């Protein structure tokens, strides 16, 4: 009789998410993985059925240690800070070191390579994710700092794979920063940054890793294939379209969030301090941005002014100033499409943050003052000199910008457009879009929201390491 086989010490089970079952019992499962490589800053595990070689794992660890790690520290991590926990003051070298202190027995990031269960069949797929559940001790938690990276089809495009990893690592850093400086009373679960800011920073992490603009996001904005950007859709109220069978309209949110943060970054002459200040803000809403943009955008400490300036920049695209992208070659073709309708209705409903453009043929006089409380207008004209006319009620220029400057809630408000150049297409009664023809990366959090995931982690913290005082 053969003796029982001993467990392989290099194998381990990790809790993971089955995105095809989110919202149903059993959407969390245990993936069996094997440790393939340990580097100086991370440990690489791969699902035993994924077919990942030791060489591939070593390459991933090297890319993280030699490039991605440095980017994350420079642009998104606080350094050399002190935290007071229950009367004991501890100094941490950076945010990642602090992250390791929140769990037990870890000083290196765990990276799990697995075939993420996302129902991939040639269209959209989850390329990777960070699950904050793992920072809390409890049922279905790995109680480790870790990032999940997809192997099918995620590893078919190496640049996208590493970009996704950088994107998700920013989410981890942002969440840990929230635990430290954006606490929610005595709850162990912090005030998380508004989605559009967190995603905008993660998109910038991709850009900084790649060291080149995100062309797919720029093309999506310019082409506007669903016409939803022309109808006003953008990042501020995230994922506010009825997706139907596939969530393509959310790609508008990613494209516009990327352009907004890239625009801000270019105004600073690419100063790393801007992104780090936003990431480390004690605010978790639009104020995390405006408290850091007053010195780079005239009036940028006011959300209405900042939003109007960016919306105008996408129309005017002047290469010399804040009404454009500083002449950067990648953004020279940024343009916007006018809002077009098939009926004679001259009003449009806009969510907070949304803006539309309509053609002015001579001048536009605002009708009776029954616009929504937060609706604002500007007359825009391209060329030299360009014009920004905000005084009203008569607006001149080439185009009328109509936008909603509200910063709270998700209420639709009505504003006017000119109604010129009408009969091409119309705004759909229900915000819905069609399928995209090739594989695209879907953010795991968007897929979870759509499938009815719980709003908060189910794990119960072993110890709530909330700083009592911080310097």
pLDDT of residue 421: 61
pLDDT of residue 220: 94
pLDDT of residue 420: 79
pLDDT of residue 447: 61
Instruction: Assign 245 a pLDDT band (cuts: 50, 70, 90).
Output: very low
For residue 433, is pLDDT > 60?
no
Q: At what angle do helices 272-279 and 195-210 cross, to 10 degrees?
A: 150
Contacts of 381 (CB under 8 A, 6+ apart): 316, 387, 389, 396, 397, 398, 399
Tokens matching residue 358:
């309509």
Average pLDDT over residues 250-271: 95
Longest dimension (CA), the chain: 95
For residue 147, is pLDDT > 70?
yes
Instruction: Assign 446 a pLDDT band (cuts: 50, 70, 90).
Output: low
Greater pLDDT, 437 or 67:
67
For residue 204, is pLDDT > 90?
yes
Domain map (residue ranges) of the chain: 8-188
Share of the chain above pLDDT 70, in %: 85
Instruction: Assign 4 a pLDDT band (cuts: 50, 70, 90).
Output: very low
Inter-CA distances, 269 with 179, 207, 262, 265, 400, Å: 31, 15, 11, 7, 30
Average pLDDT over residues 340-361: 84
pLDDT of residue 97: 96
Average pLDDT over residues 245-269: 88
Instruction: Assign 85 a pLDDT band (cuts: 50, 70, 90).
Output: confident
Share of the chain above pLDDT 90, in %: 69
pTM listed for this prediction: 0.90
Question: Measured between alpha carbons, how far is 80 from 87 in angstroms, rounded to an integer?
Answer: 19
For residue 454, is pLDDT > 60?
no
For residue 96, is pLDDT > 90?
yes
Question: Any idea which residue has 């996001």 for tokens?
Answer: 217
Instruction: Assign 388 a pLDDT band (cuts: 50, 70, 90).
Output: very high
Of 280-294, 301-315, 360-374, the one with minimum mean pLDDT is: 360-374
For residue 377, is pLDDT > 60?
yes
SS (H, E, C) the chain: CCCCCCCCCCEEEEEEEECCCCCCCCCEEEEEEEEEEECCCEEEEEECCCCCCHHHHHHHHHHHHHHHHHHHHHHHCCEEEEEEECCEEEEEEEHHHHHHHCCCCCCCEEEEEECCECCCCCCEEECEECCHHHHCCCCCCCCCCEEEEECCCHHHCHHHHHHHHHHHHHHHHHHHHHHHHCCECCECCCCCCCHHHHHHHHHHHHHHHHCCCCHHHHHHHHHCCCCCCCCCCCCCCCCCCCCCCCCCCHHHHHHHHHHHHHHHHHHCCCCHHHHHHHHCCCCCCCHHHHCCCCCCCCCCCCHHHHHHHHHHHHHHCCCCCCCCCCCCHHHCCCCCCCCCCCCCCCEEEECCCCEEEEECCCEEECCCCCCCCCEEEEEEECCCCCEEECCCCEEECCEEEEEECCCCCCCCEEEECCCCCCCCCCCCCCCCCCCCCCCEEECHHHHHHHCCCCCCCCCCCCCCCCCCEEC
pLDDT of residue 109: 98
pLDDT of residue 455: 41
Question: Measured between alpha carbons, how far is 99 from 33 in angstroms, rounded to an integer?
Answer: 23
Q: What is the pLDDT of residues 26-64, one digit of tens each?
A: 899 999 999 999 999 999 999 999 999 999 999 999 999
Greater pLDDT, 6 or 181:
181
For residue 122, is pLDDT > 90?
no
Tell the burial category of 405 from Cβ atoms under 10 Å away from its Cβ (0-12, 13-18, 19+). buried
For residue 275, is pLDDT > 70?
yes
pLDDT of residue 155: 87
pLDDT of residue 58: 98
Q: State the average pLDDT for the chain.
A: 87
For residue 103, is pLDDT > 60?
yes
């Amino acid at each position: 009789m053969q003796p029982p086989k001993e467990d392989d010490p290099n194998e381990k089970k990790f809790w993971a998410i089955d995105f095809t079952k989110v919202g149903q019992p059993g959407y969390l499962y245990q993936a069996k993985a094997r440790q393939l490589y340990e580097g100086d800053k991370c440990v690489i595990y791969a699902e035993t059925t994924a077919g990942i070689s030791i060489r591939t794992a070593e390459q991933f660890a090297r890319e993280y240690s030699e490039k991605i790690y440095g980017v994350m520290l420079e642009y998104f991590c606080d350094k050399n800070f002190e935290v007071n926990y229950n009367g004991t003051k501890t100094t941490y070298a950076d945010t990642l070191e602090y992250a390791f202190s929140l769990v037990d027995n870890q000083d290196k990031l765990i990276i799990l390579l697995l075939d993420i269960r996302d129902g991939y069949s040639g269209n959209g797929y989850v390329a990777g994710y960070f699950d904050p559940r793992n920072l809390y001790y409890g049922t279905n938690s790995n109680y480790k700092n870790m990032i999940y990276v997809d192997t099918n089809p995620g590893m078919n495009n190496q640049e996208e794979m590493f970009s996704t990893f950088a994107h998700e690592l920013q989410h981890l850093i942002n969440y840990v920063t929230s635990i430290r400086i954006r606490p929610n009373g005595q709850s162990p679960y912090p005030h998380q940054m508004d989605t559009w800011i967190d995603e905008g920073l993660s998109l910038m992490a991709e850009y900084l890793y790649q060291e080149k603009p995100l062309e797919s996001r720029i093309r999506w904005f310019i082409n506007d294939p669903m016409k939803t950007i022309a109808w006003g859709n953008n990042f501020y109220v995230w994922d506010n379209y009825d997706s139907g069978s596939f969530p393509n309209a959310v790609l508008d949110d990613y494209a516009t969030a990327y352009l907004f943060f890239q625009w801000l970054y270019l105004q600073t002459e690419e100063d790393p301090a801007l992104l780090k200040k936003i990431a480390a803000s004690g605010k978790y809403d639009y104020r995390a941005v405006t408290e850091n943009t007053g010195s780079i955008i005239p009036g940028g400490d006011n959300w209405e002014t900042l939003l109007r300036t960016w919306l105008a920049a996408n129309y005017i695209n002047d290469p010399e100033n804040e009404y454009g992208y500083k002449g950067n070659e990648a953004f020279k073709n940024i343009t916007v499409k006018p809002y077009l309708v098939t009926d004679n209705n001259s009003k449009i409903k806009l969510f907070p943050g949304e803006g539309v453009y309509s053609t002015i043929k001579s001048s536009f006089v605002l009708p009776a003052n029954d616009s929504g409380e937060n609706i604002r207008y500007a007359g825009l004209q391209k060329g030299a000199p360009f014009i920004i006319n905000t005084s009203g009620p008569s607006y001149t220029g080439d185009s009328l910008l109509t936008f909603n400057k509200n910063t709270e809630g998700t209420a639709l408000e009505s504003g006017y457009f000119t109604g010129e150049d009408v009969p091409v297409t119309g705004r759909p009664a229900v915000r819905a879009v069609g399928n995209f023809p090739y594989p695209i990366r879907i953010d795991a959090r968007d897929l979870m929201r759509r499938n009815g995931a719980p709003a908060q982690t189910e794990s119960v913290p072993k110890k709530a390491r909330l700083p009592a005082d911080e310097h």
